[in-house]
Amino acid sequence: MDQAFITGNAAILATLTGICAFYFWLEKATRWRLFQYVPPLVFIYLTPVLLANSGHIAALLQGRMPSETASAAGTTDAIRNVLPTSSPAYDVIKDFALPMMLVLMLLNVDVARAIRVVGKGVGVMLIGSLGVVVGAVVGYACVMHWLGPDTWKSYGALTGSWVGGTGNLAAVSEALNADGTQVGLAVLADTALLLVWLPLMLASKKIAGPFARFARVDADRVAHLDAIAMSEQETSPAANYQDYLLLLFVAFAVTAFSQWATATISAALAARDLVWPVQFSESTCRILLITTLGLLLSFTPLRKVPSSRHLGMALVFIFMAQTGATANLAKAAEQAVPFLIGAAICISIHGFFCLAAAKFLRVDIHTAAIASAANIGGIATASCVAAHHKESLMPAAVLLALLGYAIGNYAGLLTAAICESL
């Protein structure tokens, strides 16, 4: 573990969870408009980045090179970081918080209900997801010569986020063994381009009439969706300690089984002098297994246990804070511009796929915008777009975003495999 002011495992965990709690408290207490454009996730990631690189930043401000700071390590002249860039506490978060988060998030998915409520909107979202995969591959191919050799992992993580959400970004990053710098590039593109994409999704409401004529949308489609959405609304009861214990048991049990299964497979491969391929490591196998088991459990009564998504999201933010603490600012800055160009190509192709799907399936602009927002921004963004376009479709927006969570890991890993083969 490298030198830092905060080194104890409990102190590190307290710092990371405190950072997460602080920014959500700040958002709620101040209601700053800033948080409408830059979500707390960005600050939750960036704050540990700055704390873990504070020594290098201070050295640069003093006119010293990072190499000089490194050579001074162990001396009284060294400038220490606030947080370490490696710690057993980080390993605990990666080994337990991430897989448990996946299980808890996926328990909340209701595929059948989403199809009932959204109808053809599911098709638009799925085709939009395909557009993200295609766009990420094309974007990476266009800029790969200006990026590091392992940046394909960043595009895999970004695809996971833009098909599903932050949880998928974290899961795909872990499956690919991406470091903090590679995850940082994905977070940067996710945030920067969402600032452009969200206003476009909101403004699309103004072209509802012309778009309906262009796509030949049935005149009563929106009214029909309103009626279905209102009839399908559900109110979840408040969770109690028994619910939390059950959720934690399920999450721990799936995590334990996935670790045992992947270790068994690794041992079997080693006994035959075989190794995992680059695109499909032991981590990849474990994440895919957890994703599949989580989806299967969502078809059981466990889906009705309240607060599984909220508990899962809390673990997502703790994992992203840990990831920020392992990032390297200098490496991320060198690749930021070409990476953003590739990501812009990706999101443009996604938009084209969504428009083509809406035209082909004769879907209104309200549903198409919500489907795209469910992909690119997740539950919060999709709900925001739905509230602006058609408030009665907010439950449909949540369901579409949850479907994105269900397929985000598969899409991200597929994208990473294709990009790595390039």
Rounded CA-CA distance 368/372 in Å is 6
In this prediction, residue 227 carries a pLDDT of: 61
Q: Kindly indicate the confidence band of residue 69, based on its pLDDT and cuts at 50, 70 and 90.
A: very low
Of 89, 42, 99, residue with least CA distance to 315:
99
Alpha-carbon 29 to chain mean position: 25
In this prediction, residue 257 carries a pLDDT of: 94
348's CB contacts (< 8 A; 6+ apart) are 135
Listed ranges 174-188, 189-203, 204-218, 253-267; the one with the highest mean pLDDT:
253-267
8 A C-beta contact, residue 172 and residue 405: no
CA of 25: how far to CAs of 21, 40, 49, 355, in Å? 6, 10, 20, 38
Q: Kindly indicate the confidence band of residue 19, based on its pLDDT and cuts at 50, 70 and 90.
A: very high
Rounded CA-CA distance 317/309 in Å is 12
- Is residue 351 pLDDT above 90, yes or no? yes
Of 422, 420, 418, 421, residue with least CA distance to 133:
418
Of 178-192, 210-224, 335-349, which range is least confident?
210-224
User: Which is it for the CA torsion 412, 293, 298, 228, positive or negative?
Assistant: positive
Q: What is the three-class DSSP state of 218?
A: coil
Tens of pLDDT, residues 130-150: 999 999 999 999 999 998 888
In this prediction, residue 16 carries a pLDDT of: 94
Alpha-carbon 346 to chain mean position: 16
Question: What average pLDDT does range 33-56 have in this prediction?
Answer: 81
Half-sphere exposure (Cβ direction) of 35: Cα atoms closer than 13 Å: 15
Of 98-107, 360-369, 393-402, 405-414, which range is least confident?
393-402
Both tokens assigned to 293: 């088991």
Of 158, 165, 159, residue with least CA distance to 184:
158
Rounded CA-CA distance 318/324 in Å is 10
Rounded CA-CA distance 149/56 in Å is 24
Of 261, 263, 316, residue with least CA distance to 289:
261
8 A C-beta contact, residue 242 and residue 250: no
Q: Kindly indicate the confidence band of residue 236, based on its pLDDT and cuts at 50, 70 and 90.
A: low
Place of tokens 């710690």: 87
Rounded CA-CA distance 224/306 in Å is 29
- Is residue 378 pLDDT above 70, yes or no? yes
Containing H/E element for 212? helix 208-215
Surface-to-core class of residue 99, CB atoms within 10 Å of its CB (0-12 exposed, 13-18 middle, 19+ buried) = buried
- Is residue 360 pLDDT above 50, yes or no? yes
Q: Which residue has the higher pLDDT, 383 or 254?
A: 254
Q: Where are the alpha helices (DSSP H) in 216-301?
A: 221-231, 241-271, 282-297
Both tokens assigned to 239: 């969770």
Tens of pLDDT, residues 88-125: 999 888 888 888 988 888 887 777 777 777 778 889 99
Rounded CA-CA distance 53/59 in Å is 10
Q: Kindly indicate the confidence band of residue 73, based on its pLDDT and cuts at 50, 70 and 90.
A: very low
Which contacts of 280-284 are long-range, i.e. CB under 8 A and separated by 24 or more positions? 280/417, 281/175, 281/176, 281/177, 283/174, 283/175, 283/176, 283/177, 284/175, 284/176, 284/413
CA of 113: how far to CAs of 48, 118, 229, 297, in Å? 39, 8, 10, 16
Surface-to-core class of residue 183, CB atoms within 10 Å of its CB (0-12 exposed, 13-18 middle, 19+ buried) = buried
Report pTM.
0.75
In this prediction, residue 142 carries a pLDDT of: 95
8 A C-beta contact, residue 203 and residue 366: no
Tens of pLDDT, residues 274-308: 777 655 677 778 888 888 898 899 889 998 888 88
DSSP string, 193-204: HHHHHHHHHHHG
Of 242, 362, 246, residue with least CA distance to 302:
246
* Per-domain residue ranges of the chain: 1-86, 89-422
